[in-house]
Structure 1
Amino acid sequence: MEVQPPPKEAPIPPSRYPRIPTRTPVKILEEMSDLCVNGDIKKFREVFESRLSIYDPDNFDIRDFWSVMVEAITQDNAQFIIELFRHGLEMKELYASQAVKAKAKNALQAFLQHGWDINQPMSEVKPPVLGNAVEDDDMVPWLLDHGADPNRQSAIDLTPLSYAVECAPISVIELMLARGGDVRKDQLLHHAIDRQSENIEVLKLLIGKGAAINTTMYQDHYASWRLYYFMGLGTVLHRASELGKVDLVRYLVGEGVDPSITDANGRTALECAAMLNQREVVQELQKGEQLMSS
């Protein structure tokens, strides 16, 4: 089958997306969003108390007001958020994600007052909202101060601290470790291998705090292992070798990582590197074996 190239036209902007059908008249939803932008809470309440009361169930559904909630979050105006909750709009993790993105601390405070669990995972495979904030050194301490747990998992062994180790500034990682982050969990060394920069600095930090370097990924988390074992899960040395990160391989060998450990497919890191034609890694691992045998 011939594969067609992507179109040259620019992608359709969100403003031109087809509108999701709603029971509530679009005009009302747009009016309510405009009231959020203008900060007119008095008129906002009047619309709910009077004009909306004339609509029958076939022409009104509070769930349609999710877009109004997003606008209220963007404006970081807790009054509108509280009013939406009062009229029955349910809390969704989407709102927490939007609030972190918008740095909307008033909105987050309103969610907490409404009973939102700050440590509720975003989905089965995504950790709580602290994971969305790890690159923001302003939001991370705020969330920690309000009860966010850096070690809270989703259904798999993935936590906010996992995300931080992979992409956050070192200062944020240090803060999360100081606030209860556990280096024995969350596959942290494996995530450190996937960083775009400062890999060795983060590895040193974690190993210095007691992270084990010879564990295979998810070996202590059966649900995660069952889901991902087909990928040939191995040690951090396997991961660094597969990615061709010679400097990390050299560092790990120097730290005493065991090169004889095999992955879920029964291969050593050297065998994985050779299979992927990572020649420099192969040479580095062979040097390490020679030093160990001498």
Structure 2
Amino acid sequence: MPSPTASLMPSPPPDLTGIPANEYFEDFYLPAERSLVLPVVKIDPESLHTDFLISMGQPPHLELDKAISTGDNVHVINELGRVRSQYPQSNVTLSTAINRAIECEQLEVLKLLLKHGVKADDRNLQVAVRCGNIPFIARLVEAIQWKVNMMLSNGCTLLSLGVVHADLVIWLLAHGADPNVQDAWAETPLSRAVELECYDVLDILLDAGADVKQGAPLHMSLRVKGENEGLRLMAKLLALGAPVDKYQGADALLWEKVGFQQGTALHSACIRGNIEAVRLLLRYGADPTRKQLVQSSEIAESSALDEAASRNRTDIVSVLQGHLEM
């Protein structure tokens, strides 16, 4: 684990594809990945790609993909039958064919695949959400009986994954999505909207009851590309009551599992050298001496003042020391 002063605080990715969404996140690896570790080294390189795909239950189906992309239902049914005959293994699901239908916007083909027994799962739902295609999402939610506030296998919720699509956010909220349900990193849809600079969605979520005290939206505002815009967002969140000294990832089992050090927004502002954010956070009562949370005795706890000093950010150190002397 790198020193807390070696680089920017880790930025937890919105997408954690492959992490199972069980209650305790006990294992970061899919069973299929574990079982492939030894067999892979014995496979002839020329057959590795196909054998690997078959072992994952997703054999290649180029002709089926072509049929799906053209929307030729008869051709789709014929190719589906051919692929199933060629790959009769019990683990073959062909759910990647559903992804192809989503990406090609072939809703009738999607319905056809489902009707002919191709099993959809929440990874297909993730693809549909990223595409922002509401009719596909509605059909998949119905097909796999997905509850709108359940956590996906990538650690996200439908709402947190879909914040880049305002119309989808409105649709999900109308269908019972809770704007305060947190993802695996203890971030809310509001936090993700701040991070991804989805300003129209911010207001939609706030109007729907999003709570700025949940998640770590202040930290996310420091990742906004334009510093002035980030400060504007931070000021808005602070005025709405965002807790100034909250640790990022508070109460998130996944943070503890991975072992990231958890700091406050002031830690992040000092690490990033954002002196105006430092001043703003101090005006709202941020504590420069508050230590990071760490998950290992080998990592030193550091305050925001420590982080600024270790990077020789003398201007920020001066501001922090002046605040402490007041």
TM-score when normalising by structure 1 = 0.77
Partner of 2:243: 212
How far apart are the structure 2 equivalents of 1:202 and 1:39?
45
Query: Which of 1 and 2 has higher RCO (CA within 8 Å, sep 6+)?
Result: 2
- Percent sequence identity is 25
> AA paired with 2:67?
L
Give the Å deviation of 1:79. 2.4
Aligned counterpart for 2:158 among listed residues 115, 129, 137: 129
Partner of 1:99: 128
Partner of 1:184: 213
How far apart are the structure 2 equivalents of 1:228 and 1:190?
19
Partner of 2:197: 168
How far apart are the structure 1 equivalents of 2:126 and 2:268?
30
What SS does the aligned partner of 1:172 have? helix
1:33 is aligned to 2:65: yes
Given that 1:167 and 1:196 are in contact with CA atoms closer than 8 Å, whether structure 2 keeps it comes out as no
Give the Å deviation of 1:105. 2.2
Q: After the TM superposition, list the runs of 4 or more consecutive aligned residues in structure 1 that deviate by more than 6 angstroms.
A: 23-27
How far apart are the structure 1 equivalents of 2:165 and 2:182?
20
Gapped regions of structure 2 (runs ≥ 5): 1-47, 294-299
Partner of 1:86: 115
How far apart are the structure 2 equivalents of 1:18 and 1:54?
18
Given that 1:62 and 1:88 are in contact with CA atoms closer than 8 Å, whether structure 2 keeps it comes out as no
Partner of 2:279: 250
1:279 is aligned to 2:314: yes
How far apart are the structure 1 equivalents of 2:70 and 2:302?
62
> AA paired with 2:248?
M
1:50-61 mapped onto 2 (5 Å cutoff): 51=81, 55=85, 59=88
How far apart are the structure 2 equivalents of 1:188 and 1:230?
18
How far apart are the structure 2 equivalents of 1:252 and 1:26?
53
What SS does the aligned partner of 1:59 have? coil
Cα distance change, pair 25–94 in 1 and its aligned pair in 2 (3 A): closer
Give the Å deviation of 1:47. 5.7
Pick the structure with greater CA Rg: 1
Given that 2:238 and 2:284 are in contact with CA atoms closer than 8 Å, whether structure 1 keeps it comes out as no
Partner of 1:119: 149
Q: Per-residue displacement from partner, 1:128-154 (whole Å, max 9, x unpaired)? A: 133333233343323333333332233
Cα distance change, pair 64–22 in 1 and its aligned pair in 2 (3 A): farther
TM-score when normalising by structure 2 = 0.70
What SS does the aligned partner of 1:273 have? helix
How far apart are the structure 2 equivalents of 1:234 and 1:43?
56
Given that 2:160 and 2:183 are in contact with CA atoms closer than 8 Å, whether structure 1 keeps it comes out as no
